[in-house]
Every structure is written in C-alpha cells, then in structure tokens.
Structure 1
C-alpha cells in the first residue's frame, strides 16, 4: 500500500484547501511524519472499527464547537491511529487547539467553504498519482480510456468495457471482429449496464477481490472482471468478454496493470466531474437568485429536473444558546454541512445534482436525464436519515414535480419556500414532503398574501373589526375568525375560545349589529375569512373576555 507523509500531503494540497490545526502532543514525535494511506468519511464512527491505521478521517458533520462531539472524533482517530480533518476557520479557538493537543491526534483544518467531496477527491488523486509513480513499470498504455480499452482488447483477445461505480459504461473497445452478446450490445447503446445484468455485475465476489475474477452469466459470453481502485477508493471496473470458454486466456497480470492505468484516467474524469459540479452549483445559484446565464434557455441548469428545498427543523433551544447571532451561526453551519451531504448522497445514488445555499436553505436540483435508479423520495429519505445520524440535526425537505422550463423552476422555488414556511409555522414533523400534496395550503397562502398586500382586494370589514377591538378592548376579530374556521360549529369554536356557547352566539349577533354584516351569505363569509386571516399575523389588539 502506497503511503504519503502527512506533512507532504498538506504541502501537496496547496491553495487554501487544508492546513495544520494541531500536530498533537509534541512529546509523541513529529505528527507530520505519520503516513496516510487512504481517506475515510467520519460520519459513522462505530462503522470504523475495521478501518486500517493511517487513514485521514474526514469529519463530515462534525461541529468542533461541540466539545463532546470533538472528543468522540478524536478518540476514534486515536483508536484507529488515524489523522483527523475538520472544517475550521483560521485561527482556531484556543480551547479547541488545547483539546486537540491534549488528545495527541494530528488534526488538519479544512476551509469551511471547501466541499468535503473536493477534499476526498484531491487526497485520493494524490495517493493514486504517488502509487503510479512508484509502481508503474511499463506495460499497457493508452492516451484515454477508449484507446486503453482497445489496447487491452488487442492484448487479451476479448471485447473490453469499462464501467464507473454508477454502472455507466465510460469506455469500450471497438476493434473489428470482437465478440459481442446482447448484454454488451445493450450496454453500449444505453451507455449503462442493462438492468437484468446488474445482479451479476454487482456480485460481491467481483468487488471485494483484488484479483481478476471469472464470470459466466447464463446466455452471455464468458467474462473476466477486475475492479479499478485508487488506494482503497473504488472507481469502477474493467470487464473483458471472450468468444467462448476456450478463448479465455490467462490474462490476470495484463488486466491488473490495465486497471492501474485506468485508475489514473478515471481520477482525471473525477476531477472533471468536480469542476462540472462547481459549474452546475454556480448556475443553479445564479438562476435561483434571478440572474440566469445569458444565451441559455435553461439558465445554465439541466432540465427537466426535480427541485428540492431543505431547511433545518427548528425546535425549542432549551436554553442552549439564546443569542440570535449564535443561533443564526449554528443554523448556517448546519445548512453548509447539509449541502455537502446532499451532493455526496446524490452522487452515490446515481444522480448528477446541482446544489446551492441561499440563506439557511439548501436547494438541490436532480436532473431527470441520467438519474439514479432510486426515486427522489427514496433519495430524500436516505439523505434525511443520514443527516440525523451524521449531523445530529433534523431537516424538512420539500420537492417539486419534474419541471422542464426556467419559469416553472422559479415558480416551483417559490412554492417550495412557501411550503417550508408553512411547515415551519405548523411545527410539522421533519421529513420529506411534496408540493403537490401541499397544494391547497400553498394556494391559500398565496390568496391570503394577495389580500394582505393589496388593499383593493379587501372590503375593509376586517380593519373595522380590529380597530374596534383595539379601541374598546373587545375580541370580535378573533371570535369571528375562529367561528368561520370551524365552519359555523358553535360548540367547536367556543371550545377553542374557552367561552360558553351562549357567549359566542351573543358576540356574533352583536358583531352583525355593530358592523352591518351578515354571516349567512357564503360569499361574504369567504371574504371575511380571507381578510381576517390575512391581517391576523399583524400586531394584535388586546383581547378581552
């Protein structure tokens, strides 16, 4: 296993990506000499029991301001002889530095705006490049993955296909007279492993082996497969189909060398993917802010797609931190960590998401074309469950139907915001919701907002009621609104108001007399309900029995 010293890794990751927060206890020797052989996500510490020593653990979701959480992460790193990377602005707080030094664990500080996905890819790339430099001794070459596939096919005498971890066919050989079967034909045409072949393609025997594995699915040509890795990071797989069993050669060393070369190409593709991810994120942010890219009918975003909005579910603070600035900082930090998780989960489940953080809300665009095999609902359930486990925060998610135009996308963003506002006001349980299911509530909010903002849409009766209440310490506005919301059910309305039913009836008759209105006309009842609802959120007059 190729390793790199921690100080060499930090030096290689220049450009404000990562720096040394603390090297641990100086008495334990130079932490910079600690070898790094791989990178792991520290979002599930109990799952790292079998992690080999020498990994860099990425503290996804770790709040270093939480001393208990930081102590648990440091213990995990120490128990596994690993280094730890955390999101932290420079310089770190003295108490954080002191806690890290006391633990004796080398800790690296990642700039908060740098996505964890980029850190993971950069470290993996550096390790793979180092491995290639030390282990390469010639052999199979190729200018790109397609030429590599052709070179391998010429050496071993079979038809080559290279797939990534999402089972997308990224390259294949195209030499003349190559063997082909229906699975290969459909895979090349669809650029993806056919559905009926996935079980065989994903068989555990293939993906846990470091050696070349022979596979022969009924109805298909015999194949040999090898996993493409960079260190311990799986990048994809390389498969060779042969014309028949007698044509299968002892090509293990050639395929393993080809997999090492393919790893470098696929890492380069990953760097392109990261650059494309940043472009998609910028395009989505600009579009949602009303500044789409010029010259593109979709504003630079990929449509059709589903738009998702996520907001932290705010509960009582229980006195943890009462300052408005402190709470805002915590919510902002949680939203930034959710942004990283959304991209990681979207990628892992086969999507090519775009994500943007506006205020304390995360917006994720999931393109319909080339989407993963799981539905949006399943992806969101997985994401929210992981956020609860990794971030120890609850989120509410609302997603739109599939949209195909820029105006529809912006309209759905407004619907999502309105839905998140509504769910927050109603203190709804965290979870995933659909705008279609909340359509009645969204329509009512839009109507009430229009009535509130445009005086010409009001009859004026609600203002007169509120003015009378303020001047005479009465409670006609609240009484009428409660009565109307209960559709004229006196028993239910009086119960909510905690008054006798006869008292309620008396107030209703008195209101009709004072304000010259009738509660028997359906149109007037509807208008009065909208007006009273629209003005209910404004400063309230004093109430009286």
Structure 2
C-alpha cells in the first residue's frame, strides 16, 4: 500500500477514535515500530494492559500490552504474540533484550501484529503511565502548536482558552510553567510565586491544595487576603498525582466555561507534565554531567563546552551556591536546594540571557560570563541579587561564592576550586555565629575577598601533610595548658597579634600589665621560647593562625580536642 492509500485509510477513522499512531506520537518514548503497516497504525486503542505470563489471559481487544520480562525466542514470548494477535490487541510493547530488530520484525509480521520495541534502559513504570495517558490524551481536545512537555507554551494555551492567567505547579510547590499572555490580570501572590518559581507554602499543608487534590474535577477557590479567586485542577496520569493547574478567576459569567475547559484538558495536561518531567530529569542530568566535566575533567572540558555552546572569549567564573541547612539530608533541604537551582537559573536567564547551572551534590554550580568593563562588580551584584531572594526559598542563610576568572576552558577547574574553598570558608564563618544571639544572614563573596585566609589555609594544609605541624613549642604550650588549666596559648596569641605591646595585650586579655609581663616571662622560662627571634615568631604565628582557620572551617575539630 502506498503513502496515499495509507493516508486515506487513516483518514477514514472518526475524529473520536484513538489510533495506535496517535498513542505513539503522544508517548514520544523512543519506541521502534517493528511492523508499521497502515492497518497497524490505524488500529483502535482503548486501554493498556500490563501482562504477566503467570496471570490468566484476559481480554486484550484494542489494548496495548506491555510485555514486562519477556525475551525474543522464548516460549512465553511466542505464546504472547499468538494470543495478542488472536485477541485483536492493538500492539505489544517489548524490550529487545539483545534480539535484533529484524528478528522482532519477522515475529511481528508472522503474527500480523504491531510490535513496539522500547529502549533497553526504559522504565516500565514510566512507559505504562505514558501509554495510559496517551490513550486518554489522544481522545481529548488537542492544543495545536504546543510541543509535548513545553509547560510554558501549554500554560499560555490554557490561559487563552480559559481567559485567565495560568500557573502549573508540581506536588512540591514548584512552578513548572506559567502563562505570559498580555492583558490578563494577576495579583501579588502570582507575582511572588512566579518570581521565585515556588509556592509560598508547601502544598501538602495547604487547605486549598488539599481540596483540589481530593476533587475529581476542577474547583473554584474563593478569594483570600493573599489573592483573588482561582480555578484549579489536579493533574494525574495512571493514578499518579503530577501536580495542578491554577487559573486566575476569569470574571463573572465565564467561570463555568473555564471549569469545563480545564476538565477537558486534564488528560492532555497529564501528558504534558509527564513529558516535561522526563525532559527536565534528562536535562538536569545532562547539564550536571556536562558542567561536572567542565569543572573537574580538563581533558574532556572542550567537548562539554561545545555541547553547552559556551563562549569563553571574555572569560568565565564558576559560582558555587548552597543553603546553610542544619539537616542537609532532610526532605526540606532537598526541596530547598532544588528551589535554589531554579532561582539561579531564572536570574541567570534574565541577567545573561543564558544559563549554565546544575545541582551537583548539595551545591548549585553556575557559570557567570565576564561582561562589561567591571565584570567582577557585575558578578558580585548578581550573586547579591540571588541572595536577596533567598528568604523566599528557605529560612536558612544562602551562601554564594564566585571563583576566579577562567580565561581558557582548561582553567575552569581552578575557578571551581577557588569557588568551593571560598564557599566552605563562608560556611565556616556562619558556623561560628552563636545561634541564639546572632541573626544569621546570607553570605556572599568573591574569591579575592578572602584570598589571604584561603591562602593561609593552604599553608596550614601543606604543613600538616608534610608533618611540619608535629611536636614543636606550640604543641608543648597547648599540652601544658590542657594539663594545668592555664592560658599560655592565649598569651602567646595576644603577644604575636599585638607585636609585643604589653598595654595592648593587657587590654585584650583583660588583665594587669604586670600579669602580662609575668606570663610572657613564663613562656620563655617554661617553654624556652625566644620571642626576640623573628623567625620563631613568624613560625608560631603561622601555626596559630592556620590552626585557628582550620577550626573555623571545622568547628567539630575544636570541640573534639
């Protein structure tokens, strides 16, 4: 049959019939059709069946069968195709499991059955959700020109059809897409949530969200002090809650029509959200892998830069951002760090018209271009801007550090290292604050703001690794203090910090000048420290300063001593 006959055959089906071709298009799951005849593509689809060979055979008429655990050439596989063909099944989805597509095509032709081959790494749970959603979505009103998974375009389509500004929200309260049609009124709540890409409260504890999730159809939500009235719909696929759609109330006389429109679009919304989730997961993983390669693997950095379309002609700086969460593994911490990723992405898109950011572990890494005559001033201003929005995503301090400028792709690991070290230093500074007395605020800095303490930390690390910080006069003083409950280390620190000024030491230690003179003399008598020797003073000062900085970076170490 030629292409004209195929098109004519397909067109003979009524608009309300869901065809296998429609489902394949809506699933977009990289399925390979082993036997794409016009008859197979035009086969009606009414449902989806997960098949287990140990279960009794059930009615498969016009159903897509997902053959989990089946392999080409097995008796169970041949029996399944035979039963499916005799029962007028619409198609069988199977994984190749090493079989060649020609072998699967021969089997499909032999049984005159549509066989769809899924990738070996495909998730069956996702496939069955996509298949079920595609059957319902293909039968629903379509939204012309909207690519599946483009939730911003879909939100615009919803807003256009309901006459109200639309937002699409996931179960964690993240804004996945919102409409931008001109002329549609919005309120302050809508402005705040779209700016932060996050609802102001957790949906799990919000009465309106709970009501929407419990309803089978779209609901009218009356106005409150926080915002105007809204229409809302819970979006599901295969029984799984994917999120919700919220519409600013379109006005008197249009509520019922808007509610009906939302209900009609529910299946299609599920398809869009499923595809968006898959694309988002893939995109985040891909960005994470590419950015990790850029900042950790100089050998392959050029390839990653090409994939991301980076322009390094003017230089780039790696920025490290995180939230000083006391419980880094908690659900709240995970939710907040993802909010931070969305915030960084949004701000970068606005300020740089592009964004290269990814979540790696519990740190968001971003690449800031060097623009204008004063690029560092610009970068400082932007991280301060991100920090200013920090309160909207977490009650804990937001910490951000801008690394050194990389003039070549190969220099990005060095920029990342300087950003990470500065970030750890800032976190250590925050940890020094007394929780009940100091109000912890966001900490933002460029690498060069703390170049000296960071350099001293490197000196301390070198001394420790080379065994240079072993038993010496400072260690002897520390041991003596621990055994005798004395404060000679503090006396030594005050002496070195004040360049030997007795009056300054007295003020620092809050003791009489004679007491200071006595303690300094004891340092010489008990420990044999010659404070007149400049080299010894320098060495003791380096030991004290690097050790103190180390304790700041790791407060637990001081408590454990």
- State the TM-score, normalized to the length of structure 2: 0.47
